[in-house]
Amino acid sequence: MSQPEHSHSVRRVVLPSGKTIDVVYFHDEPVVARRGARETPEAEPLKDLHICPSCEAPFVYPTAWREAGLDHWEVELRCPNCEWSGAGIFDQELVERFDQELDRGTAALLRDLQRLVHANMQDEIDRFVAALDAGHVLPMDF
C-alpha cells in the first residue's frame, strides 16, 4: 500500500530571539486549534508593541511568542511600569519592528550600564587614592 502524497512547503523563520528555524507546512493536514486560535489568524491593528496601551510607557517586552500562521506571531506582552499584560496575534512586519525596538533598548541599557560601572570604578579609585594620601591604608591592610 503506497503512502498518500502530501504537498508541503518549507519556510525559514527568524524568531524574535534571532534564532533561525525551518518550518515545514503540510497543506493537506487539518489545522489544529490551539487555545481558541483561528485557522486564519486575524492580526491586531497596527501599533507599536513596545508602547503600553495602559500607561503609554515605552517599556513593554515579550514574555512568550509562538508562530500563528505563515506570517503572524502570537505574542504575550508585559509592561513593568504598570504591570499590564496582554496578548495578541501580530503580523511579521510589526513583530520585526518590535524586535528592532527591543534591540535598541538593550543597546541603550548596556551603554548606561557601562557608564555606571565606569563611574563607580572611578569613584572607588578616587576614594582609595584619598585614603592612601591621608595615611588610612597601611601595608598590614593587604
User: Residue 22 pLDDT more than 50?
Assistant: yes
Q: What percent of the chain has pLDDT over 90?
A: 56
The ranges assigned to domains in the chain are: 40-136
User: For 63-77, how does the pLDDT look when each residue is reduced to its tens digit (9 = 90+)?
Assistant: 999 998 888 999 999
pLDDT tier at 27, thresholds 50, 70, 90: low
Could you give the angle at the alpha carbon of 69 between the alpha carbons of 64 and 71, nearest 5°? 90
CA 76 – CA 65 distance, rounded (Å): 6
Q: Check residue 31 and give its pLDDT.
A: 39
Q: What is the pTM of this model?
A: 0.58
More confident residue, 139 or 75: 75
User: Residue 35 pLDDT more than 50?
Assistant: no
pLDDT tier at 8, thresholds 50, 70, 90: low
User: Residue 61 pLDDT more than 60?
Assistant: yes
